[in-house]
Structure 1
Amino acid sequence: MAAMTVRLSPPHEGTAAPEGTATLRVREVLRLREVLRLRTVLGRPWVRAAVRALVGAVVLVAIVARVGTGPFLHGLLSLDGPTVVAALALTAVATGAAAWRWRLIAGRLGVGLRWSTAVGMYYRSQFVNTVLPGGVVGDVQRAVDHGRSAERVGPAARAVALERLLGQAVQVAIAVVVLGVFGMEFAGVLLPLLGVAVVAGVAGVAGVALASRRVRRALTHELGEVRAGLGSVGVFVQAVVASVLVCACHLATFAIAAAAVGAHVPPLRVLALGIVVLLAASIPVNLGGWGPREGAAGWAFAMAGFGAAAGISAATLYGVLAFVCFAPAALIAQSTLVVRRRRMRS
């Protein structure tokens, strides 16, 4: 009100400076309100999901504008029986290993579950991740469902977050080794990017922690949970081995997809190309898993001299194989979960 009074009062000699100051303050307040309103809107889950899907769609449109729809169609038409059978076997091993990793960490945090239950829930979460934007909705659902069944949502959510974080960390470590040895064409680009991303993440967390006592307390608490989940040497080693096995199965599946589309790539070279695709696929900005994965595959194959079209076709088939492998098991797991809930209610 004081600012409005100064703004509306008749001008007097010698009052120009205070009026100008008040006007600036009013503008700052209005600008701050707009910023807060925008932050509130962007903070809504559906807005974040829409932005992620939009980014993935834009990437796909850009790829199609660049190379056309031919590579995508070739990838789809390359699907055959032997390829599906091999992918089903590799996906089963990868999902079993990932579920074992989750079970180990969940048990350490006091929300243990049977391995068979973990496998079913993991299949379902992977299927949801392949059909919904962002690639994390399935993990959130898995954490909530397990937390409700264990009546401890907090520790269950931490278990899922920790096992996923460990899996990503192991994948990045494998990427550094593989790209440093076999990916010379693009190692000079990707390795510095990985380093910058890690340093930026650590610096960001450190900066926020230094600026806020509440954040420091929260980080201290979460570090304690990490120690609880991975504090045992035996559990940590088993979880890392499981993560390596998961990554190896995904790389093998991509190699099968590349061979199926007719990309003649030596085994060690397809290993480097595959890790680039996996890194891009883990970025939570996509349209049901599509977008950055195909873009990275086209770029990496082109850089390695195998042609962008071959990379896009391989990534397309890889995405289709993921859907084919996850869907049946996810439906079975969901049906089993529904039956179990009905029995518990009755």
Structure 2
Amino acid sequence: MLTVAFCVAIIAALVTVVDPADVVAAFENVSLGPVLTGLAIVQLQVVLSALRWRFTADRLGQTIPAGLAIREYYIASFVNQILPGGMAGDAIRAYRARAEDGWKRPAAAIVLERLSGQLAFFLLAGAGLFVWPLLLSENLPPGFAGLVLIGVGIVVVIASLGLIVARTRLMARFENLKPDLAAVFWRRGAFAVQFGLSMFTVLSYIAVFMIAAYATGAPLPAVALITVIPLCLMTMLIPAGIGGWGTREAAAAALWPLLGLTSAEGLSASLLYGMLCLCGVAPQGLLFLATAMTRRRGHAER
């Protein structure tokens, strides 16, 4: 309940600050066409993510039928959006995918599959940070270039620490993961499959955000594809809320003015984006979850 209150409080404060009338006016512009298009792309997100999980699991020796992977991913996506932390659905997915020899291999497949998607996000967002000074120099706040350099410095420091850690006992444990990492991300063309599925999934998330902005009456320029939107989406990785609500809206309200738009327009686009993502998986997630629970209850009664 505290997490829900936290998300609601952030959104309520943002709506109040940017003027509720502007947010209401933005939603009055929303038409059925963009909404249906956004919901259709959400289905593509789930299918691509499920195929990535299926591929990752197969490389670790676990065979998952495509239909089952898609159904389980709908359940996990729905649960992740309604429970705090954004990981509960993945835990359920790992439990339900457990094999006779335990749950460690299924859990490893899910962790590596999620890692593949997050690496694609970070790659795109990182590229955007270097693009900003070139394309948005007039709108950037003073000292932004310095912040980019500081960020690069932090990355270098982390990489250096990683090399130091590589000489410790932790590296010995990492050695055990090398075969799995190689199988999932490198051997037999794995890199091309992982990169393709993850990047297309990330682009589908961005497309939904672009559609949400268009639907609320403030279309985003193309530069938003690799600048503000990836940063907004990355805030959803912060495990402080539910489904990214609140943190995503705060980021949009802060970043949209850098593109010459208003904070109200950013907030409205982010709110519609969240609604599209939730409504895009909720019906199927609830249906598949109810079906699974009914089957389990039936087996238990036998």
Q: Do both proteins adopt the same fold according to a TM-score greater than 0.5, normalized to the shorter chain?
A: yes
Which of 290, 294, 300 is equivalent to 1:335? 290
Moved more, 310-319 or 108-117: 108-117
Q: Which amino acid aligns with 2:82?
A: V
Q: Which amino acid aligns with 1:286?
A: G
Which of 94, 104, 110 is equivalent to 1:160? 110
**Where do 1:133-172 residues align within 5 Å?**
133-147=84-98, 149=99, 151-172=101-122
Is 1:113 matched up with 2:64? yes
**Where do 1:316-331 residues align within 5 Å?**
316-331=271-286
Identify the residue that residue 42 of structure 2 maps to in structure 1: 91
Give CA deviations for 1:71-117 in whole Å, capped at 9, x if unaligned: 65556655542233111211111111111111111011112201111
Q: Distance in 2 between matches of 1:344 and 1:83?
A: 43
Q: Which amino acid aligns with 2:112?
A: L
Q: Distance in 1 between matches of 2:153 and 2:90?
A: 27
Identify the residue that residue 180 of structure 1 maps to in structure 2: 130
Q: Is the 8 A contact 1:134 1:284 kept in 2?
A: yes
Which of 220, 231, 241 is equivalent to 2:196? 241
How many residues are aligned here? 294
Q: Distance in 2 between matches of 1:102 and 1:170?
A: 15
C-alpha spacing 1:217/1:251, structure 2 compared with 1 (3 Å):
same
Q: Is the 8 A contact 1:76 1:320 kept in 2?
A: no
RMSD: 3.1
Q: CA deviation at 1:61?
A: 5.7
Q: Which amino acid aligns with 2:285?
A: A
Structure 2 residue matching 1:217: 3-state secondary structure: helix
Q: Distance in 1 between matches of 2:60 and 2:233?
A: 29
Which of 298, 303, 314 is equivalent to 2:258? 303
Identify the residue that residue 33 of structure 1 maps to in structure 2: none
Q: CA deviation at 1:264?
A: 3.6
C-alpha spacing 1:194/1:84, structure 2 compared with 1 (3 Å):
farther
Give CA deviations for 1:38-75 in whole Å, capped at 9, x if unaligned: xxxxxxxxxxx96x767656644653563354565556
In the superposition, the TM-score normalised over structure 2's length comes to 0.83
C-alpha spacing 1:221/1:53, structure 2 compared with 1 (3 Å):
farther
Identify the residue that residue 132 of structure 1 maps to in structure 2: 83
Give CA deviations for 1:231-266 in whole Å, capped at 9, x if unaligned: 424222111100011011111100010011111432
Identify the residue that residue 221 of structure 2 maps to in structure 1: 266
Q: Distance in 2 between matches of 1:200 and 1:140?
A: 32
Q: CA deviation at 1:339?
A: 4.9
Q: Distance in 1 between matches of 2:31 and 2:115?
A: 34
Q: Distance in 2 between matches of 1:86 and 1:190?
A: 37
Q: Is the 8 A contact 2:15 2:264 kept in 1?
A: no
Moved more, 294-303 or 196-205: 196-205
Q: Distance in 2 between matches of 1:259 and 1:190?
A: 30
- Ranges in structure 2 where 5+ consecutive residues have no aligned partner: none
C-alpha spacing 1:228/1:190, structure 2 compared with 1 (3 Å):
farther
Identity level (%):
29
Is 1:217 matched up with 2:167? no
Q: Is the 8 A contact 1:251 1:274 kept in 2?
A: yes
Q: CA deviation at 1:202?
A: 4.7
Give CA deviations for 1:17-54 in whole Å, capped at 9, x if unaligned: xxxxxxxxxxxxxxxxxxxxxxxxxxxxxxxx96x767
Q: Which amino acid aligns with 2:122?
A: V
C-alpha spacing 1:150/1:108, structure 2 compared with 1 (3 Å):
farther
Q: Distance in 1 between matches of 2:229 and 2:14?
A: 19
Q: Is the 8 A contact 1:109 1:229 kept in 2?
A: yes
Q: Is the 8 A contact 1:78 1:317 kept in 2?
A: no
C-alpha spacing 1:324/1:76, structure 2 compared with 1 (3 Å):
farther
Q: Distance in 2 between matches of 1:150 and 1:194?
A: 45
Which of 178, 202, 210 is equivalent to 1:255? 210
Q: CA deviation at 1:226?
A: 1.6
Q: Is the 8 A contact 1:209 1:216 kept in 2?
A: yes
